[in-house]
Structure 1
Amino acid sequence: MSVEHAETAENGPAIPTESTALIEPVEAIESVDSVTTAEATLTATTYYSIAPGYSVNVRSGPGTNYSIVRVLPEGSEIPINCQSPGTWISGPYGTSNIWDNIANGQFVSDAYVQTGSDGYIRPHCG
């Protein structure tokens, strides 16, 4: 917003000037929580590689007793939202009962995901 001002020079006519300062009402910022939420949305997502040479079943829950909802092709990278205990599985990265939640209702065995850890790396699923 620009604001026009008129200044009077000593012993002379009024000289118009322009201020480019922005004047915003405090009400323009709804709350600190809304700013924090916006900043949290910008947090980068980490993706983890599926073991080379493997296509991996994605299941509807944390275990082999859950239905297969899709298959990840070789070379896939996945986000891990949270982790849950489930069926024990042996894979290229050891034997584990940790299942990685990659999307709503989608889990893969951690034994096929290169996380760099034998334990939990993300919060337990709620």
Structure 2
Amino acid sequence: MSIPNEALQKLLQEIGQKKAFSEQQLLVVKQQKAARNRETRMLQLTANEVDSLPKDTKVYEGVGKMFVCTPIPDVQKRLVTEGVALEKEMENLNKKEHYLQQTYDNSKSSLEQVLRTGGR
């Protein structure tokens, strides 16, 4: 029993669209992960620099177009909080990447299977 040409064409189109969407979203997620990795590295470098400063050093943080003197413990606390938030974002991006990769692989194999069997 074979699938009618119209139904086969519609099926191939749907699978192809799903595959293309997954591939596009996968690239977006990989770019987001790279950006988060850069942010994490910057946080680590900043934390190392702040930790190496003497305790009586004045530290300034940018707020809009001005700088505000902030105690070192407050800066360290903010860096830790931002680091934890970035870790959670990375976990979510990893899950999303895994899901999209699975969807892409499944779509690709379904497309290959339909093409191989010729709709039979």
Give me the TM-score of the superposition, normalised by structure 2. 0.29
Query: Which is strand-richer, 1 or 2?
Result: 1
Higher relative contact order (CA 8 A, sep 6+): 2
Query: Which is helix-richer, 1 or 2?
Result: 2
Give me the TM-score of the superposition, normalised by structure 1. 0.28
